[in-house]
């Protein structure tokens, strides 16, 4: 499989908004990674088993037994509450990152690759994970773009013949 010799270098901002994007040129291809809203409306505590810490061994959020369990529980409870409060105040959201590819002014695909359910503006996060995701999707996006380019070239050749 062809691997890109370049990747996204400039990260997303530490505070992102819907529609924010980063881009990179690889050969003839211009690839953009854009942030979209993940429209699944579940709250974090509905979406993630074990979001709230628990003292019960059979619960997903079980913090474990042993020395210091009360302190661990209190710390995890405070962290979960901070995350939930920030969610309820619209300070962070789940997003998707969609890669699109162009050659010059010609759009090959608006949705070459994507990943959804990513936390954006998550408390105490710098959003650096968004750059990692964009780079992980790069190979898939380039492969999709090359396939689309070949398909379009074939159509043009057939229409001329």
- Which pLDDT band, with edges at 50, 70 and 90, does 5 fall under? low
Which parts of 42-126 are beta strand (E)?
A: 93-103, 106-120
Cα separation, 131 vs 157, in Å, equals: 38
Residue 127 above 50 pLDDT?
A: yes
Residue 71 above 80 pLDDT?
A: yes
Summary mean pLDDT of the chain:
91
**What's the pLDDT score for residue 3?**
53
Q: Where do the structural domains in the chain lie, given as residue ranges?
A: 21-39+93-160, 44-88
For the chain, give the percent of residues with pLDDT over 90: 68
The larger pLDDT score, comparing residue 63 to residue 93, is at 93
Residue 53 above 70 pLDDT?
A: yes
Which parts of the chain are beta strand (E)?
A: 21-26, 29-37, 93-103, 106-120
Q: Taking every pair of C-alpha atoms in the chain, what is the biggest distance, in angstroms? A: 79
Stretch 66-85: mean pLDDT: 92
Query: Residue 98, Cα to own-chain centre: how many angstroms?
Result: 8
């Amino acid at each position: 499989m062809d691997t890109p010799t370049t990747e996204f270098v400039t990260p997303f901002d530490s505070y992102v908004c819907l529609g924010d994007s980063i881009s990179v040129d690889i050969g003839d291809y211009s690839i953009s990674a854009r942030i979209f809203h993940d429209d699944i409306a579940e709250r974090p505590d509905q979406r993630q088993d074990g979001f709230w810490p628990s003292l019960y061994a059979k619960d997903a959020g079980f913090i474990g037994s042993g020395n210091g369990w009360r302190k661990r529980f209190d710390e995890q409870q405070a962290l979960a509450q901070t995350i939930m409060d920030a969610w309820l105040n619209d300070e962070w959201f789940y997003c998707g990152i969609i890669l699109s590819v162009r050659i010059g002014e010609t759009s090959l695909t608006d949705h070459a690759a994507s990943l959804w359910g990513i936390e954006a503006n998550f408390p105490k996060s710098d959003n650096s994970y968004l750059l990692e995701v964009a780079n992980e999707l790069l190979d898939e996006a380039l492969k999709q773009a090359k396939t689309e380019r070949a398909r379009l070239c074939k159509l043009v050749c057939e229409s001329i013949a």
